[in-house]
A = this chain, B = another copy of it.
Amino acid sequence: MSRRVGVDLGGTTAKLGLVNEQNEIEKRLVIPTDRTLPFEEIIARLADGIKSLGPVESVGFGVPSCLKPGSGIIIYANNFGWKNKDLRGELQKHLKDTAVYIANDADCAAVGEYFHGAGRGYESMLMLTLGTGVGGSFMFGGRLFLGGNGSGIEPGHIIVREGGEECTCGLRGCLEAYCSATALIREITSSASPLLARLIRENGGKANARILFDAVEAGDEDAQNILDRYLRTLAAGIGSLVTVMRPHIIVIGGGISQAGDRLFKPLSALMPSAVFSYDVIGCADIVPAALGNDAGIIGAACLKDALGA
Where the two chains meet, the residues of A that have a C-beta atom closer than 8 Å to any C-beta of B are 66, 75-76, 123-126, 138, 140, 146-155, 157-163, 169, 171-174, 232-233, 236-237, 239-241, 243-248, 273-277, 280-281, 284
Contact = CB atoms under 8 A, between A and B. Distances in A.
Given A154-B243, A171-B239, A241-B244, 9 more contacts: A149-B247, A149-B284, A151-B246, A152-B246, A158-B240, A159-B237, A160-B161, A162-B233, A162-B236
Contact of A124 (B149, B154, B281): B149
Given A162-B161, A277-B66, A281-B66, A148 B236 contact: no
Given A157-B276, A163-B232, A245 B244 contact: yes
Contacts of A273: 171-172
Contacts of A247: 147-149
Given A75-B280, A148-B140, A153 B236 contact: no
A240 B240 contact: yes
Contact of A147 (B149, B239, B244): B244
Contact of A244 (B76, B158, B163, B280): B158
A154 B244 CA distance: 6
B277 A154 contact: yes
A173 B236 contact: yes
B147 A123 contact: no
Contact of A159 (B140, B174, B274): B274
Nearest to A156: B276
A123 B69 CA distance: 14
Contacts of A281: 66, 149, 151
Nearest to A150: B246
A160 B174 CA distance: 10
29 contacts: A66-B277, A66-B280, A124-B148, A126-B148, A147-B244, A147-B246, A147-B247, A148-B248, A149-B284, A151-B246, A153-B243, A153-B245, A154-B243, A154-B244, A157-B243, A158-B158, A158-B244, A159-B239, A159-B240, A160-B160, A160-B161, A163-B236, A169-B277, A171-B273, A171-B274, A171-B275, A240-B240, A241-B244, A244-B244
